Amino acid sequence: MEQLIRRFYEDLWNRWDNDAIEDLLDEDFVFRGSLGTETRGLAEWRSYRDTVRAGSADFHNHIVTLLADGDHAAVRLQYTGTHTGPLVGLAPTGRRFTYSGAAFFTGHGGRLTSAWVLGDLTTLHEQLS
């Protein structure tokens, strides 16, 4: 499970590797992101991720702490990026940002089946406003 989580952030988010999506995520992957959006399935999740990328082409996830137990995991994260496109309802500012978050995962059969993410959007919004 720990390796799946690390690849989720390194491959799917930090490298934007679309070829790894089907290797890591269950076809019915359920994702609830910090932006309040819930997705189901690979295409919806990719659309969410690409929305974030459109708002910050250099968006990066840094794992601070990762705890895994069987098919469950919790992760403390730090997100960084540059506000280059619309994000959290704000027009691009060109400002750098850093904010914290946490994510809770489940997995089964060697793939991630769900993720629920909480990001400190108040801090993000303050940095971009």
DSSP string, 84-129: -S-BTTB-----EEEEEEEEEEEEETTEEEEEEEEE-HHHHHHHH-
Q: Is the pLDDT of residue 42 over 90?
A: yes
Note the pLDDT of residue 124. 96
Note the pLDDT of residue 93. 96
Note the pLDDT of residue 92. 97
Q: Which domains does the chain have, with CATH numbers?
A: 2-128 (3.10.450.50)
Note the pLDDT of residue 36. 82
Residue identified by tokens 């799917």 is 12
Note the pLDDT of residue 45. 97
